[in-house]
């Protein structure tokens, strides 16, 4: 229940109201999202198990698929339980502190997806455009250094967003029309000046997914230029197949990200239910889509999964490890 704050005090407790236009169907609305959550958990767990247990898959490309599976397994856990509490048990309260903590982890983990996709593009760029130096550039030392640098970048920017949001006064309302503490959904309840929050949000978009996307585009432009110059039709086909898998994942991730961003820019002309749906799909759909794509289109992973399902003992020697030219 919404309570008016006394005097100049702001709200310190908030209420989640997801899909306000379908309140009578709340328990049923959770079913499709739970199924997506189940696919994400099972699919990514299988990918993680296969890559971790098969030494033939311990190479840079599979390390990145392993990393994106961990992200896709972790991200839904930060907000899907909130949906269950809200839609099924009608428990929808959260404190400001809890809201800011959830905001930090949702946004921080979601940035890892963009980072890993960029590193995948760089991996394919080196493998196809400079294969003789592949082992020199794409090794564990390089991945650790890049991971630490990108983690610091994301941590600082997301921390700044959360700190600025926590410094606001929330006197308009304590009702968040969402299932989790999304940055702009919370900032929209503030009664003070929020220009710095908007600027910081735009800066974060430019510095993380924006720069990552530029690097991805640069990598694939060079990749396709190198592929087109290749005299071997077979090598060209292999490169297109491998890069095609990554491009499908990149397209889905960034397309949903763009839809979520545009939804906030035209939120006044869009119903809250549609906006909430877009925001949830932006986070949840890639988590259940990615393991299916990598499990089906990546031959080595697919063969290991099929042998595991059939109960056959897997002989690493009989499975060809992906060539660096793929």
State the pLDDT confidence band at 99, using cuts at 50, 70 and 90: very high
> 94: helix, coil or strand?
strand
pLDDT value at 2 more than 70? no
Q: Nearest Cα to 265, choosing from 247, 281, 278?
A: 278
Say if CB 289 and CB 252 are below 8 A apart. yes
* Segment 7-61, tens digit of pLDDT: 457 899 999 988 888 878 888 889 999 999 999 999 999 999 999 998 888 888 8
Tell me which long-range contacts 65-68 makes (C-beta under 8 A, separation of at least 24): 65/294, 65/298, 65/301, 67/112, 67/116, 68/113, 68/116, 68/117, 68/120, 68/249, 68/290
> 14: helix, coil or strand?
strand
The distance from CA 38 to its chain's CA centroid, rounded to whole angstroms, is 16
* Segment 58-85, tens digit of pLDDT: 888 899 999 999 999 999 999 999 889 8
| Tokens matching residue 19 | 């899909």
Cα-based distances in Å from 238 to 128, 149, 299, 322: 10, 32, 12, 10
């Amino acid at each position: 229940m919404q309570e008016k704050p006394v005097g100049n005090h702001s709200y310190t407790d908030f209420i989640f109201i997801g899909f306000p236009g379908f309140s009578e169907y709340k328990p049923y609305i959770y079913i499709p999202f739970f199924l997506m959550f189940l696919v994400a958990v099972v699919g990514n767990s299988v990918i993680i198990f296969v890559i971790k247990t098969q030494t033939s898959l311990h190479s840079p490309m599979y390390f990145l698929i392993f990393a994106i599976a961990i992200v896709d397994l972790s991200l839904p856990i930060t907000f899907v339980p909130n949906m269950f509490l809200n839609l099924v048990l009608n428990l929808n309260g959260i404190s400001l502190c809890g809201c800011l903590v959830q905001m930090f982890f949702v946004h921080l983990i979601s940035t890892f997806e963009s980072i890993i996709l960029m590193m995948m593009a760089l991996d394919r760029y080196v493998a196809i455009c400079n294969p003789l130096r592949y082992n020199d550039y794409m090794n564990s030392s390089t991945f650790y250094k890049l991971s630490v640098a990108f983690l610091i970048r994301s941590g600082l920017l997301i921390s700044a967003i959360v700190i600025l949001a926590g410094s606001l006064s929330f006197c308009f309302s304590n009702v968040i029309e969402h299932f989790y503490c999304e940055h702009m959904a919370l900032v929209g309840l503030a009664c003070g000046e929020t220009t710095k929050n908007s600027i910081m949000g735009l800066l974060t978009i430019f510095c993380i997914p924006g720069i990552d996307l530029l690097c991805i585009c640069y990598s694939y432009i060079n990749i396709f230029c190198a592929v087109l110059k290749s005299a071997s039709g077979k090598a060209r086909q292999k490169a297109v197949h491998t890069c095609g898998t990554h491009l499908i994942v990149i397209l889905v991730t960034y397309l949903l990200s763009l839809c979520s961003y545009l939804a906030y820019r035209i939120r006044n002309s869009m119903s809250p239910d549609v906006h909430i749906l877009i925001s949830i799909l932006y986070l949840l759909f890639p988590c259940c889509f990615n393991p299916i794509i990598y499990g089906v289109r990546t031959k080595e992973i697919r063969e290991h999964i099929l042998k595991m399902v059939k109960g056959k003992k897997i002989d690493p020697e009989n499975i060809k490890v992906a060539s660096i030219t793929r």
